[in-house]
Amino acid sequence: MKRLLSALCLLLLAAPALPAADAKKPNVLFIAIDDLRDWVGYLHHNEQTKTPNIDRLAKMGTAFTRSYCAAPVCNPSRAALMSGMRPSTTGVYGNETDWRKIIPEDKPLTAAFRNAGYFVCGAGKIYHESFKRTSEWEDYLEKEGGGKAENKLSKSAKDKGVGGIRFAPLDCEDSELEDHKITDYGIEQLGKAHEKPFFLAVGLHKPHMAWNVPQKWYDMFPLESIQLPPYKEDDLADIPPAGVAMAKPDGDHKAMLDSGRWKEAIQAYLAATAYTDMNIGRLLDAFDKSPHKDNTIIVFWCDHGWHLGEKHHWRKFALWEEATRAPLLWVVPGLTKPGSICERTVNFMSIYPTLMDVCGIAKPAHVEGPSIRPLLADPAAAWATPALTTHGFNNHGVRNEGWRYIRYANGEEELYNEAADPNEWTNLAKDPQYDSIKAELAKSLPTSNQKSPGPDAAKKEEKRKKKKEDKKKKQ
């Protein structure tokens, strides 16, 4: 009898050390925005922008001021973030590469959550939309709609834009565009009673081109008040040939200057950003009313930045600040403090491992990048890991709090003192007094670079784009 009682006592003493059977895993609201650069209110990089709802989300948790993408291109950026493997590891460098042939289904973030017992669902653009893999998801919105509404141009629209930079105000309702329906899906899921913890991904397209949104969003930014971004006529004078080739000054930028419509393009980007901010507000309103609010993590990220004429360049596809920096926001119940600002330099490759960390899921062995949980708990904590961005085979940019170092595949270099030169107007790479800084930053460059799978995928993608354009012309 005494032995039985002793055994029972030992079991009771051991019980608290076991995980509680009814312990609730946190849900995740995973918000992805396409082509949204650092023109949001909380970053104060462009005071013309109007993003009250993104700023509202920033105040709910920890907002990062120096957050950088893995690649300044949709497909490789998203493939890297979702798989946990850098472009230099997979060889996924461009929009033409089918990442599904390289990254097996057991590697992405979705698999990690499904294996942990989560209901994994989503809508919109999470991966590059040329290469969807719906089998990763237990539920995914199939029909977004919105295609026809994008062609309902307002009477004030001059045309469809300048060359490849496409923009026009629309004569339609907010609800007619695809992002509105994508947001509706997120709202619906937040209001449901879920039997399992959920990972809910909401991927909004705007401000990806075309910057076609209802006229009222354009009206928020009167053309006469539009200011151009910081610009230097001879900005490319000290840039090596590899950098100039990325800038392509005789392409989009020359067309924009020749058209005299630079301010119109800025207005359009701001309008598309404001439209997206509205949908974020709708999602946050639903979150506030959700029965899951107190047990749901929010991570808000953007696939990369965007140039609007800086360095004579438009779009992403470059390794400078404008193309690589984008907003990153975290809300983690019980960990982040409302209104926190973190000025440490972080990379979006930390999103996967951090979600594993804060959700109590073991990080898969293939995942690259450190967890930023220490910065969520204390935004001023010590942090020495620079942010690495890759554009194409063996072209890399390394960013820490004070410097940006770029090394191209042919060995050409750029170096910028971000504190003294935030517009990156003076390339210091050839000045020997900064050799030690370059050497230190170079330690973060990949030691191996996987080659791209080849040109066949590129040709296939070109055919797909041409077919899509031909279809639009017939509409």
Task: Read off the pLDDT of residues 182-213 as tens digits, 9 standing for 90 and up.
Answer: 999 999 999 999 999 999 999 999 999 999 99
Structure token digits, residue 390: 């890759």
Q: What pLDDT is recorded for position 389? A: 98
**φ and ψ at residue 417, rounded to 5 degrees:** -85, 100
When pLDDT is cut at 50, 70 and 90, the band that residue 145 belongs to is confident
When pLDDT is cut at 50, 70 and 90, the band that residue 144 belongs to is confident
When pLDDT is cut at 50, 70 and 90, the band that residue 460 belongs to is low
Residue 221: which of 268, 276, 169 has the closest Cα? 268
Task: Read off the pLDDT of residues 154-183 as tens digits, 9 standing for 90 and up.
Answer: 999 999 999 999 999 999 999 999 999 999
Q: What pLDDT is recorded for position 463? A: 65
Q: Any idea which residues carry the catalytic annotation?
A: 74, 128
Domain limits, the chain: 25-380
Q: Give the pLDDT mean for 261-268.
A: 98
Q: How far is C-alpha 192 from the chain's CA centre?
A: 27
Alpha carbons 116 and 272: distance in angstroms, whole number: 37
Task: Read off the pLDDT of residues 74-126 as tens digits, 9 standing for 90 and up.
Answer: 999 999 999 999 999 999 999 999 999 999 999 999 999 999 999 999 999 99
Q: What pLDDT is recorded for position 24? A: 85
Alpha carbons 112 and 364: distance in angstroms, whole number: 8
Task: Read off the pLDDT of residues 214-256 as tens digits, 9 standing for 90 and up.
Answer: 999 999 999 999 999 999 999 999 999 999 999 999 999 999 9
Give this prediction's pTM.
0.91
Q: For 67, how many CA atoms within 13 A lie in the half-sphere containing its CB?
A: 27
CATH 3.40.605.10 fits 25-380, yes or no: no
Residue with tokens 């967890």: 371
Mean pLDDT estimate for the chain = 92
